[in-house]
Structure 1
Amino acid sequence: MTDALRLRPLTLGDLPALQDLLKADRRYALRVTGAPPEPGGAADLLSGRPPGLNPDQKVVLGAFDQGGLAAVIDVLRGWPDRATAHIGLLQVHPSRQRQGVGRRAHDLLLAELAGWSEVTTLRAAIVGTNAAEAEPFWTALGYRPAEPPRPYRAGSTDTHVTAWTRPILTAGPGDSPHTTPQPPRRPR
């Protein structure tokens, strides 16, 4: 397990570290776009958002440990509807993958979202060419497919994308407000 993580919004001063993370995970970019990471990808990630979405509805969070930027989470508040927070990207630095960083970053995100009282659902989109890597992770966090696949094209990649969702649980007595729902047990 790696060092303790802390989560904070990324700023323009974090562009070099963010670009390094994106560049280091070349395999992700190739799976999703068919091309290596773009040189301006970090700046695009910090500023890009769907048409009509206000700038204050987008936050890009960095999960930091003693080694620096371990993961990035791009979140859209109130998109595609008021009660949803959409995770546009949760990417872990390759040197920190398979160490629980993604799950811990997600848990920190849930704690952060506790102040977004209107948000009751988390949503993430899984690109078909990345599904073998992404689906086990999102399933373990309690996400399930929620919409039919839609066509997806980025660069030379022509595939589909599927939206997955999970509820943000409200805390009961003795519960954590960000407890990850467990998948139902199957009878043996």
Structure 2
Amino acid sequence: MNGPLRLRRLTARDLPALQELLEADPGYTMRVTGEAPQPNAAADLLVGRPPGLPPDQKVVLGAFGEDGLVAVIDVLRGWPNPVSVHIGLLQVRASGKRQGVGRRAHDLLLARVADWTEVTTLRAAIVGSNAAEAEPFWAALGYQPTGEPTRYQAGATTTDATVWTRSVHSKNPAPSTAQFPRRTR
């Protein structure tokens, strides 16, 4: 998965490939919800959004390489405020992890978001039960925790979630040796 990637909006015709990507890494869903990926996970990802967010502000992007869909990025433009983009999910195909695919997909997202002149901040929520996997990745991209963890409930999982942010225009990602806040349970 070292070849070039291209990013495009996913549609209903991409549901089989998206569902396969989600099911190929059940560890993520198990950590975040306590359950295996559901048969309708791809369809739910394409349409699910916070109450009040217009449908055109929900964008699910696919990163495609030589082997097809290699990563998915769920983006909420203008949420929770007009100057933010919330990344609800950035998931890499299990076989592409630790090969730079996530970083390259994020770089493509940055290029797209640069055209959204109102946006100054990127944000992601890191769920406590997935923190060991997620925190090093987001820290290496220049994200930093912004506050105290809040309660998080999904499926059988009850844990906490912490919002991490970075400037859209940041040129200096944090070093990969960043220190993380201690988690309390």
Quick check: TM above 0.5?
yes
Amino acid at match of 1:135: E
Residue aligning to 2:7? 7
Q: Match for residue 95 of structure 1?
A: 95
Mapped to 2, the partners of 1:88 and 1:185 lie a distance apart of 24
Query: 1:14 and 1:185 mapped to 2: Cα distance?
Result: 37
Instruction: Return the offset for 1:180.
Output: 4.7
Q: Which residue of structure 1 aligns with residue 183 of structure 2?
A: none
Q: Percent identity?
A: 66
Computed over aligned residues only, the root mean square deviation of the Cα atoms, in angstroms, reads: 1.6
What is residue 175 of structure 1 aligned with on the other side? none
| TM-score in terms of structure 2 length | 0.93
* Aligned mates of 1:93, 1:131 — CA distance in 2: 18
Counterpart in 2 of 1:139? 139
Q: Determine the C-alpha separation between the residues in 2 that align with 1:184 and 1:27.
A: 23
Residues 101-149 of structure 1 deviation map (CA, whole Å, 9 limit, x = unaligned): 0000000000000110000000000000000000000000000001211
Q: Is the 8 A contact 2:139 2:176 kept in 1?
A: no
Question: How many angstroms does 1:179 deviate by?
Answer: 3.4
Contact residue 123 and residue 165 of structure 2 kept, 8 A = yes
Distance 2:105 2:60 in 1: 12
Query: How many residue pairs align between the two structures?
Result: 178
2:173 is matched with: 181
SS in structure 2 at match of 1:73: strand
**Amino acid in structure 2 at the alignment position of 1:90:** L
SS at 1:85 equivalent: strand
Q: Is the 8 A contact 2:75 2:86 kept in 1?
A: yes
TM-score, scaled relative to structure 1: 0.91
Q: 1:106 to 1:184 in 2, by over 3 A?
A: closer
Is the Cα–Cα contact under 8 Å of residues 144 and 166 in structure 2 kept in the other structure? yes
CA distance in 1, matches of 2:80, 2:141: 21
Deviations 1:7-40 (A, max 9, x none): 0000000000000000001011110000000100
Secondary structure of 2:64's counterpart equals strand
Q: Offset at 1:183?
A: 4.4
Spell out the pairing of 1:4-43 with structure 2 (5 A cutoff).
Answer: 4-43=4-43
Structure 1 residues not aligned, in runs of 5+: 170-177
In 1, distance between residues paired with 2:35 and 2:176? Answer: 38
Q: CA deviation at 1:158?
A: 0.6
